[in-house]
């Protein structure tokens, strides 16, 4: 029920079709079925191309949907466990989440302890330890130990569902140029209708009542004033532009983004996965050569991102043969080598078995052999290969530069300083990023 640019062209097509049927039935000289069909074809092919590009853009939401849990193992009051699809999991139910599984709904931990990878929902690069009564969000990945969660919100009301809704709203949002065109159309459509009406009346007077010629003149005015070329050309340009960007790994969510980009004066970056690769790496390791094989052996027995980073750091070192290996959720990995306990994990936990004299491991990740010295590891995030060059190029063009991240302040500050961006904010939620 909105008066937009489709109304005059629809009216013209209907009138042309009606007149063509009339001419055919009365043996007239001209019929315009071909013109009506061709006009619709050009307009609809433009719509189709525009829709094609929007479907490509929706892959971001679909990718997020694929990373959410399809269901969970619900623990009944009598201890029986049954698998339920995610839409059947209600608040108050207790769900058991094993290591390697994603949490299906928001809740709080009622049994067990573990480390969670929260990068999907907050962008936080370092795993977070959770224990009794800790709140957890749907979509986070359980890394080290089984935990029972009391569900507090249904899946379709969860944190990850809200993020998906915000992404869909952002993708379907109408650009400023589109809104301007719609406002212009509110003036354009009545103006064209009046122009066609005046043409009809004028020709009726000039031809002394020849409605046949007058109606064809009015139809011509309706068709000629329709910007069909724009209706086809603009979506074609958007699709070609989107295809070229896609080949360079850039996803264009909306055709009007290209138009808005020309006027942009500030570049706002996310951190994890945008400026950085999203996976931690070892920046520095103060460990004796004799302990490298043992540290690698412990690291290879865990799916924790920090353990994977250590395993990658010691890629050329053969792993030692260990016994009694066990992962302690929220703390690290422990094993036995030559009759002595060894640990890899949180520094305070590792120090419990070590000789802490002259300890310089700090508060991060550490390794120790029972009664031996504590070795420290410094974790950092790897910048994407072209990050510094891209940020510098934008800065040279006079663009304002910002970083908005859900990660901890220290991690965000480190990356901002490495890339030369002075304006940064940490601990920002997805809703906060969209609001900014």
Catalytic site residue from 270, 363, 396, 407: 270
- Known catalytic membership, residue 78: no
User: Does residue 294 come out as left (phi exceeding 0), alpha (psi in the -120 to 50 range) or beta?
Assistant: alpha
Active site residues: 270
């Amino acid at each position: 029920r909105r008066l937009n640019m489709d109304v005059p062209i629809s009216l013209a097509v209907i009138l042309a079709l009606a007149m063509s049927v009339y001419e055919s039935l009365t043996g007239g000289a001209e019929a315009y079925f071909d013109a009506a069909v061709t006009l619709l074809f050009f307009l609809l092919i433009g719509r189709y191309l525009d829709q094609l590009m929007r479907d490509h853009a929706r892959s971001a939401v679909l990718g997020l949907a694929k990373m959410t849990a399809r269901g969970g193992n619900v623990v009944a009051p009598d201890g029986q466990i049954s698998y339920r699809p995610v839409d059947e999991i209600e608040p108050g139910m207790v769900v058991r989440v094993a290591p390697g599984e994603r949490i299906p709904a928001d809740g709080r931990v009622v049994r067990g302890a573990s480390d969670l990878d929260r990068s999907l929902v907050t962008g936080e690069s370092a795993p977070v330890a959770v224990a009794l009564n800790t709140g957890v969000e749907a979509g986070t990945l359980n890394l080290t130990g089984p935990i029972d969660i009391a569900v507090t919100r249904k899946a379709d009301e969860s944190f990850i569902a809200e993020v998906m809704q915000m992404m869909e709203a952002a993708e379907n949002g109408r650009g400023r140029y589109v809104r301007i065109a719609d406002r212009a159309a509110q003036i354009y459509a009545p103006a064209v209708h009046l122009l066609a009406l005046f043409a009809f009346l004028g020709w009726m007077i000039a031809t002394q009542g020849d409605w046949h010629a007058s109606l064809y003149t009015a139809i011509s005015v309706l068709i000629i004033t329709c910007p069909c070329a724009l209706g086809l050309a603009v979506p074609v340009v958007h699709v070609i532009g989107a295809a070229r960007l896609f080949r360079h790994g850039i996803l264009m969510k909306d055709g009007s983004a290209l138009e808005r980009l020309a006027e942009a004066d500030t570049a706002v970056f996310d951190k994890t996965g945008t400026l950085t690769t999203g996976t931690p790496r070892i920046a520095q390791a103060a460990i004796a050569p004799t302990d490298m094989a043992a540290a690698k052996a412990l690291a290879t027995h865990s799916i924790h991102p920090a353990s994977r980073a250590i395993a990658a750091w010691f890629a050329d070192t053969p792993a030692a043969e260990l016994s009694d290996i066990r992962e302690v959720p929220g703390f690290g990995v422990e094993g036995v080598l030559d009759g002595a306990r060894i640990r890899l994990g949180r520094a305070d936990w590792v120090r419990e078995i070590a000789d802490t004299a002259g300890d310089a491991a700090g508060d991060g990740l550490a390794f120790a052999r029972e009664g031996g010295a504590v070795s420290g590891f410094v974790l950092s995030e790897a910048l994407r290969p072209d990050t510094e060059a891209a940020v510098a190029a934008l800065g040279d063009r006079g663009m304002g530069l910002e970083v908005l991240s859900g990660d901890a302040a220290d991690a965000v500050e480190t990356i901002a300083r490495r890339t030369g961006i002075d304006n940064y904010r940490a601990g920002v939620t997805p809703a906060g990023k969209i609001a900014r």
